[in-house]
Amino acid sequence: MKNIVIIGCGQGIGFAAAKILSENHNVIGISRTENTEIKNLNIQFHPMDILSGNLNEIIFPEVIDGLVYAPGSINLKPFNRLSIEDFENDFEVNVLGAVKAIQKLLPNLKKSESASVVLFSSVAAKLGMPFHASISASKSAVEGLTKSLAAELSAQKVRVNAIAPSLTDTNLASTLLSTPEKREASGKRHPLQRVGTADEIAKMVEFLLYENSSWITGQIIGIDGGMSNIKL
**How many angstroms separate the Cα of 155 from the Cα of each of 42, 90, 151, 187, 217?**
33, 31, 8, 42, 12
Does domain 3-167+197-222 correspond to CATH entry 2.40.160.40?
A: no
Provide the 3-class DSSP secondary structure of residue 126: coil
Given this model, what pLDDT does residue 177 score? 66
CA-based torsion, 14, 70, 47, 35: positive or negative: negative
Given this model, what pLDDT does residue 185 score? 73
First vs last C-alpha separation in the chain: 44
Is 0.85 surpassed by the pTM of this model? yes
Given this model, what pLDDT does residue 183 score? 77
Given this model, what pLDDT does residue 182 score? 72
Q: Which residue numbers in the chain have pLDDT < 70?
A: 173-174, 176-178, 186
Q: Taking the domains of the chain in order of start, what are their residue ranges?
A: 3-167+197-222
CA distance 218 to 160: 6
pLDDT in tens, 192-211: 888 889 999 999 999 999 99
Number of other CB atoms surrounding residue 170 within 10 Å: 22
Provide the 3-class DSSP secondary structure of residue 19: helix
Given this model, what pLDDT does residue 206 score? 98
Given this model, what pLDDT does residue 124 score? 93
Given this model, what pLDDT does residue 116 score? 99
